[in-house]
Amino acid sequence: MQLHSLAERMADYFQAGGDIMLPLFVLSLIMWTLAIVKSFRFMRERRREATPERSLDLFRGESSVCKAGLAQWQWDILSQYMEQRCEDQDLNRDMLDAMRMRQEFKAMRYIGTILILAAVAPLLGLLGTVTGMITTFDVISQFGTGNARALASGISEALVTTQSGLVVAVPGLLLGGFLFQRARKLRGRMELFCIRLQHQTEGMAR
Amino acid sequence: MRTLIVTYFFVLALSMPAYAQQWQQVAQQVTTVAGTVQENVRQTESIIAQERREISAEKNALQDSIDVRQKEFSTLKAQYDALLQQEKVLQEELAEQAHELKTIDGTIRTAAKQARDYFHESLTTPEFPQRETVLAEVLQPEKFPGLEGIQNLLTLLLEELQVSGTVARRTGSFIGTDGKDKTGDLLRIGSFTMAYRLPDGSLGFLRPGNDASTLVAVQGAPGWKLSGLMREYFEGKGTVFPVDISNGAAFTRLAQDQKGIYEWLSAGGLLVWPIILVGIAALVLVVERFYSLSKIRGNSDRNMATILGMVDNGKWKECRQFCREQSMYPTCRIIGHTLKYLGNTREIIENAFQEGLLKELPMLERFLPTLNVLAAVAPLLGLLGTVTGMINTFQIITVYGTGDPRMMSGGISEALVTTQLGLAVAVPIMILHHILERRVDKIIGDMEEKGTGFAVALMKLGKIKTREELDAAA
């Protein structure tokens, strides 16, 4: 019963917001999905991260155990590097850089999207405001200012969409910023990992 | 008494000379005269007494008469007062009755006016054109309608009551949607819905016109489904008829809601067109970008595998040939470019690769900055439109004042429509630009990785000389 009335109220709220509520809702859904997926991934990776020495040890053992024991990016860099590396240290470094760039790109994935969606949400809210005001003025041009009930529907449309846009945007921006910090730290760790990996393997024969 | 004295002195004077001679005689005579006089006096006295009696009798009689009259007068006065009292009471009663009558008159007039207003908006009025005259008679100023008038009014109202419970079909005329007089089948259901069917088959609803006894067609055609139901009913086949209980207001509102996109745009004024131009330009650029980038992405891994396979087997000719054939892909172009420098030092090969990459970059990032600028410009144009619209509004306010909100709505709708359009254009451009940028970043990262992989493959085959080797060769 409680849930039912909540759903009803949500439906009312949606109805009051007009057409803009649907894209806004879809947008917030995508944004939150991405944010949740991304933060879960970050958390899992962080737990499985290992030092370069330990990863090398693991790599020398069973490769399937190694894959399960390391973070995804560590495994990717390690396996590719060990497979492709050659005697030339400079080339090795360049290769590692290229691999790291790819992993960094993966780490930053979706964060830009989350931020852009959070930036777009208030714009959509503003669009809803303007649409609501147009409805209001249409009503004024038809019935004059006397019909308060008709006026209120347009105004509520304007306000509800603005509100929803902000409600979507503010946590989105916070989440995006938080994830951005996480990704930047991860990039720092990747760089460190690569440098130490190279040092470790310097004198190693293939 | 005076007579007595005069007579006495006269007798004395007469008797004076003959006093001596005739004293006796005189004395006798005097006695006689005295006797006569006394007689006279007595007589006179008696007369006086009698007259006095008569007078007093008369006086008494008169007094009686006065008393009687007085009594009569007081009686009449009392009667008069009573009558006055009565008159006053009656007057009050009269005033009261007149007030009541006035109230009744007022009530009837009010009822008649209400009835006139009601009939004015009633769909049944065109069927009863005599209503107007009856009402006009009742509503004559300075004249009591009388029992007949009241009865007529009552009849009209009862008639309306009766008619509003019936469904009536007739042939009549009305004012069509184009403002011309039309004649067709009319159908009235109760007093709230009226529809027409023209001989050419077009259907629609009617509403009462501005003056009674005319009907006006409601703007906006009923939908296909409603038309079917209505036609069936008109032809006597169906039993269901759609009713419009809003007297046409719903249709007017619907017509307002179904405003075409052109009207919407023209409400936004001149600035709508540059915004639309920006939107179209952005759309074209986005479509172009998506098309060319989608071609690049799909094949790079497979091509690279082919190239590396060829390099491993030392098939340099085939590799060059393959890169030429697949030259629409930037990765192949870069590798083809790099292959020309085979046999040089690593630095030269890397530089060649970087050069090839730099050549490709503008092609990949083409239009993306433009797209960004367009996304920024669209809401700015919208804002410009807002300001322009508000300026128009305030100019109108300076001319006409704020009395009529309808006057201001033109400028305000201009302001709002441009803002709306600017935002509606900017939001998708922003999102699409972001997607494209991500894609380009990914492709560039992919290329760099491929380039390094290629260099490593060459290195393993010993196709890259170190500086010492090159110097030794030279």
pLDDT at B463: 61
| CB within 8 Å: A123 and B427 | yes
B7 pLDDT exceeds 60? yes
With pLDDT > 70 as the criterion, what percentage of chain B qualifies? 89
pLDDT at B67: 95
pLDDT digits (tens, 9 = 90+) for B409-429: 778 878 888 888 999 999 999
pLDDT at B280: 94
pLDDT at A2: 67
Closest residue of chain B to A108, computed from CA coordinates:
B438
pLDDT digits (tens, 9 = 90+) for B105-114: 888 888 888 8
Which chain B residues contact residue A85 at CB under 8 A? 456
Which chain B residues contact residue A130 at CB under 8 A? 416, 419-420, 423
Top mean pLDDT of A103-117, B235-249, B310-324 is at A103-117
* Contact status of B129 with chain A (Cβ, < 8 Å): no
If you average pLDDT over residues B62-91, what whole number do you get? 95
Q: Amino acid identity, residue A183?
A: A
Closest residue of chain A to B268, computed from CA coordinates:
A134
Q: Compute the nearest-CA separation of B409 from chain A (Å).
A: 6
Per the model's pLDDT, the better-predicted residue between B143 and A179 turns out to be A179
Angle subtended by helix axes B405-460 and B330-339, to nearest 10: 30
Nearest-angstrom CA–CA distance, B212 and B195 = 17
How many beta-carbon pairs under 8 angstroms link A with B? 91
pLDDT at B48: 94
With pLDDT > 90 as the criterion, what percentage of chain A qualifies? 14
If you average pLDDT over residues B81-94, what whole number do you get? 95
Q: Give B360's contacts (C-beta < 8 A, 6+ positions apart).
A: B330, B333, B334, B447
Nearest CB partner across the interface for B420, out of A85, A117, A131: A131
Q: What is the dihedral of CA A75, A78, A83, A88, to 10 degrees?
A: 160
| CB within 8 Å: B427 and A98 | no
| CB within 8 Å: B441 and A124 | no
Q: Compute the nearest-CA separation of B203 from chain A (Å).
A: 26
| CB within 8 Å: B420 and A145 | no
Instruction: Return mean pLDDT, chain B.
Output: 81
| CB within 8 Å: B256 and A105 | no
| CB within 8 Å: A145 and B405 | yes
B376 pLDDT exceeds 80? yes
- List, in sequence order, every residue forming a beta bridge with B169; answer none if it has no partner: B187
| CB within 8 Å: B430 and A105 | no
Q: Give B463's contacts (C-beta < 8 A, 6+ positions apart).
A: B342, B343
| CB within 8 Å: B350 and A140 | no
| CB within 8 Å: A84 and B446 | no
pLDDT at B469: 60
pLDDT digits (tens, 9 = 90+) for B221-269: 677 777 788 888 888 787 888 777 766 666 666 666 666 677 777 777 8
pLDDT digits (tens, 9 = 90+) for B126-149: 777 777 777 777 777 777 777 888
pLDDT at B474: 52
B289 pLDDT exceeds 80? yes
Q: Compute the nearest-CA separation of A149 from chain B (Å).
A: 15
A115 pLDDT exceeds 80? yes
| CB within 8 Å: A140 and B406 | yes
pLDDT at B83: 95
pLDDT digits (tens, 9 = 90+) for A18-61: 888 888 999 999 999 999 998 998 888 888 777 777 777 777 76
A144 pLDDT exceeds 70? no
pLDDT at B467: 57
Which chain B residues contact residue A95 at CB under 8 A? 452-453, 455-456
pLDDT at A206: 47
pLDDT at A140: 74
Mutation site, A137, A140, A155, A157, interface B, largest B CB count within 10 A: A137
B96 pLDDT exceeds 60? yes
pLDDT at B61: 94
Which chain B residues contact residue A131 at CB under 8 A? 420
0.80 surpassed by pTM? no
| CB-CB contact of B134 with B108 (8 Å) | no
pLDDT at B462: 65
* Contact status of B419 with chain A (Cβ, < 8 Å): yes
Which chain B residues contact residue A105 at CB under 8 A? 441-442, 445
pLDDT at A35: 92
Confidence of residue B276 (pLDDT cuts 50, 70, 90): very high
ipTM, interface predicted TM-score of the complex: 0.78
Q: Amino acid identity, residue B286?
A: V
pLDDT digits (tens, 9 = 90+) for B21-64: 778 888 888 889 988 999 999 999 999 999 999 999 999 999 99
B344 pLDDT exceeds 90? no
